[in-house]
């Protein structure tokens, strides 16, 4: 990085104090990279303002608090444009009050900076949503290009976004961000292997009924209505690991395990000690089908592999060696193995 200033994080919040507290708590617990919070409080009436004023006094990091009133409430992308005016760091992050960052070492902020440094054609890179699917069904290493990109702890280069004037002032900030990136001659994308938690994927997106009722018949009602009662009625957020946010289920498929009853080789395979004591590993030359058959027929259990969607793979040196790593003077038995 060109300067040593703490990374500025623009956090937009509006009447979701319970989500906001969790979002900030996880940043405090899971970020070791120095950061500064630029909080755009968009006319909250649920105690958020009082909470943030107190937090500003006690936090161990700097907080810039902007409290918008009902007279000057910008649209969502306009909030990030507003926050950009205060940014001083070489990179900055846009996020919302329902985003939970994952726990990693190095932390997710360091990894995002590294990613955007190594992928210069991307103007913005966000953490991956638990329900996100690639446009063409395929994920690419490290970063996957997307049609739009929301503020899910999204990293940017400050000079690019200040030069183009920020994120405009539109209701759908994901579209505004993508449009501005395209105007730079660049694209947007999500991390293939870094996931976010989405607290707002729920009934009413975390807004109280009192707040929803208060904005009826106002200019913001249509947006609140779309984002609350009708929000993703037919979708269920997959269960995820509480530390990394990696989904355990994706649709009807188990993301962590894909059934494969024909074979399950010993590529860093995990199994329970109790199961091994019951069936052993046998003496067969071909241990994969033996193990799978024993698990299926004797224990009535299934075997599986971690699917490609998880981003977790095993590497085999044998695949780049014609003798699978054995010396040239191998005997007949090993030659048969090498020919498999």
Contacts of 185 (CB under 8 A, 6+ apart): none
Compute the distance between CA of residue 215 and CA of residue 207 in angstroms, rounded to an integer.
11
In which band, very low, low, confident or very high, does the pLDDT at 337 lie, cut at 50, 70 and 90? very low
284 and 242 in a common domain: no
178 and 74 in a common domain: yes
Pairing outcome for strands 253-254 and 258-259: unpaired
3-state SS, one letter per residue, for 147-179: CCCCCCCEEEEHHHHHHHCCCCCCCCHHHHHHH
Q: Last residue of a domain, which of 219, 248, 277?
A: 248
Residue 188 and residue 146 in contact, taking contact as beta carbons nearer than 8 Å: yes
Does the structure show a pLDDT above 90 at 260?
no
Compute the distance between CA of residue 293 and CA of residue 47 in angstroms, rounded to an integer.
60
> Is 53 among the domain residues?
yes
Question: pLDDT digit string (tens) for 108-156?
Answer: 999 999 999 999 999 999 999 877 777 677 888 999 999 889 999 999 9
Strand ranges for the chain from DSSP E:
7-13, 35-42, 63-68, 91-96, 99-100, 122-128, 143-145, 154-157, 187-195, 197-198, 249-250, 253-254, 258-259, 304-305
197 and 299 in a common domain: no
Q: What mean pLDDT comes out for the span 274-294?
A: 67
Question: pLDDT digit string (tens) for 69-97?
Answer: 777 778 888 999 999 999 999 999 999 99
> Is 214 among the domain residues?
no
**DSSP code at position 105:** S
258 and 196 in a common domain: no
Compute the distance between CA of residue 303 and CA of residue 257 in angstroms, rounded to an integer.
9
> Is 207 among the domain residues?
no
**Of the candidates 30, 32, 48, which has an alpha carbon nearest to the alpha carbon of residue 40?**
48
Kindly write down the DSSP assignment for every residue of 195-255, as one continuous string: E-EETTSSGGGG--HHHHHHTTTSTTHHHHHHHTTTTTTT--PPPB-TTT--BSEETTEES
> Is 328 among the domain residues?
yes
Q: Last residue of a domain, which of 248, 283, 304?
A: 248
178 and 143 in a common domain: yes
Question: Could you give the number of structural domains in the chain?
Answer: 2
Q: Which domain holds residue 135?
A: 7-201+237-248
Residues in the chain: 340
Compute the distance between CA of residue 66 and CA of residue 53 in angstroms, rounded to an integer.
10
150 and 92 in a common domain: yes
CATH assignment at residue 90: 3.90.550.10
136 and 11 in a common domain: yes
**Of the candidates 40, 65, 184, 51, which has an alpha carbon nearest to the alpha carbon of residue 120?**
184
> Is 129 among the domain residues?
yes
260 and 196 in a common domain: no
Global pTM reads: 0.73
261 and 161 in a common domain: no
69 SS3 class = coil
> Is 210 among the domain residues?
no
Compute the distance between CA of residue 163 and CA of residue 181 in angstroms, rounded to an integer.
12
Which pLDDT score is estimated for 255? 43
261 and 169 in a common domain: no
> Is 223 among the domain residues?
no
285 and 146 in a common domain: no
> Is 1 among the domain residues?
no
| C-alpha torsion angle, residues 50, 53, 59, 64 (rounded to 10) | 130
321 and 290 in a common domain: yes
């Amino acid at each position: 990085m060109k300067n040593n200033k703490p990374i500025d994080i623009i956090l937009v919040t509006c009447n979701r104090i319970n989500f906001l507290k969790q979002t900030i708590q996880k940043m405090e617990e899971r970020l070791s990279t120095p950061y500064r919070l630029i909080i755009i409080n968009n006319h909250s009436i649920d105690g958020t303002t009082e909470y943030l004023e107190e937090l500003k006094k006690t936090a161990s990091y700097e907080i810039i608090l902007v409290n918008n009133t009902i007279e000057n409430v910008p649209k969502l992308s306009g909030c990030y444009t507003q926050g950009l005016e205060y940014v001083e760091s070489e990179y900055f992050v846009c996020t919302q009050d329902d985003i939970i960052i994952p726990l990693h070492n190095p932390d997710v902020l360091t990894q995002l900076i590294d990613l955007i440094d190594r992928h210069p054609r991307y103007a913005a890179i966000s953490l991956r949503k638990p329900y996100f699917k690639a446009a063409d069904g395929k994920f690419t290493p490290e970063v996957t290009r997307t049609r739009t990109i929301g503020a899910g702890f999204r990293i940017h280069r400050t000079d690019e976004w200040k030069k183009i004037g920020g994120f405009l002032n539109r209701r759908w900030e994901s579209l505004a961000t993508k449009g501005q990136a395209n105007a730079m001659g660049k694209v947007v994308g999500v991390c293939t292997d870094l996931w976010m938690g989405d607290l707002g994927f729920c009934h009413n997106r975390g807004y109280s009924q009192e707040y929803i009722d208060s904005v009826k018949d106002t200019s913001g009602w249509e947006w609140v209505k779309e984002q609350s009662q009708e929000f993703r009625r037919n979708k269920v957020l997959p269960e995820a690991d509480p530390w990394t946010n990696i989904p355990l289920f994706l649709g009807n498929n188990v993301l962590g395990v894909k059934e494969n009853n024909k074979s399950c080789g010993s590529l860093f395979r995990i199994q329970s000690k109790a199961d091994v004591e019951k069936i052993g590993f046998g003496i067969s030359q071909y241990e994969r089908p033996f193990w799978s058959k024993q698990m299926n027929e004797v224990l009535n259990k299934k075997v599986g592999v971690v699917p490609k969607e998880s981003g977790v793979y095993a590497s085999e040196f044998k695949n780049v060696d014609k003798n699978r790593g054995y010396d040239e003077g191998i005997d007949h038995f090993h030659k048969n193995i090498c020919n498999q």
